[in-house]
Structure 1
Amino acid sequence: MEQQDLLNKKVGTKEMAKLEAKEVEVQGLRVDDKSKEGKKYAPLLVLICKHPDKEQTIEITKIKLLQDEKTRVVGLWVQEDSEGNIQKGCSVHKLLETAKVGSPSELEGKKLPTIKQSDESAYLCIKGY
C-alpha cells in the first residue's frame, strides 16, 4: 500500500479485538535492553506466547502479583544479585515460582495463566498469585 493511500484512510467502525485472559504457552523468550534518556535499566524478559484465540504469537512483559492483599502489575525486569543469579524476590523470581521452574530458559513449553492488567487496560499479563 502506498503512503498516500494511508494518508487518505478514514477511521473504521470496528474496534480491535481484545483477547480474553486464558492460559498461554510460552514458545520463546527474549531479553530486551531498556534505556530512557540515557539511563540504562535492568534488562526486560519478554515471553513469546501462543494464546488459544490468536493465530500469531503475543509478547508478555508483565506479571500481576499479590502483595499485602493488593494486586500490582510489574515488568519482568531481570535483576541480578551480587553473585550474578536472579535476585530473590524480584518479578522474574516470582514468575519462575509461579511456573515451578528454576531458570527462565525452562519456561519454554510451559503453560501459564494470564489476567487483564487492569479494568482500564485490555492488555494481558501473567497471573503470579
Structure 2
Amino acid sequence: LYEGMQELTTQGHAVLCALSYHQALDDVPIRSRDLYKRYVKICDRLDADSVSERRVRDHLSDMNMLGLISVYERNEGLSAGRYHEYELDVPLKAVLEVLLSTTRFEELANIIESTANDNNLLQSDISDY
C-alpha cells in the first residue's frame, strides 16, 4: 500500500492530498464533486494543471483498486440521484508520510498534519503499512 501511494502521479497525489485534507477535518465520507473543489485549490497552490472531475473520479477508482480508499455508493432517489462518497482506507499518518516525502507536497502535508493534530485524528500505529 505504501509503495502504491508513492508511485501515484502528481495528479494522483493531488487527489490523495485533497482527500487527506477532508479526512483531517473529519469531513468524510465526501462526495467527489466536493472533493474536486479542494483538488482544484491544491492544484492552484502547486501551480499545477488540474484535470476534469471525471478524470479525478478515475484517480479515485484507481486508488480504490489499490486498497487506499473506500468508496460508498449512495442513492438519494430522483432528486439527488446516485453518487459516490470517498474516504481513506489507510491511516492518515501513512498518507502524510508519503506526501511529506514528496517535495512538491511537503508544505500541504504539513498543513494537513497540523489540522489532523488539532482534531486528534492521527493514528499512531502505521506498522501494518
Length-normalised TM-score, structure 2: 0.27
RCO (CA 8 Å, sep 6+): is it higher in 1 or 2?
2
Task: From the CA coordinates, give the structure whose radius of gyration is larger.
Answer: 1
Structure (1 or 2) with the greater helix fraction: 2
Length-normalised TM-score, structure 1: 0.27
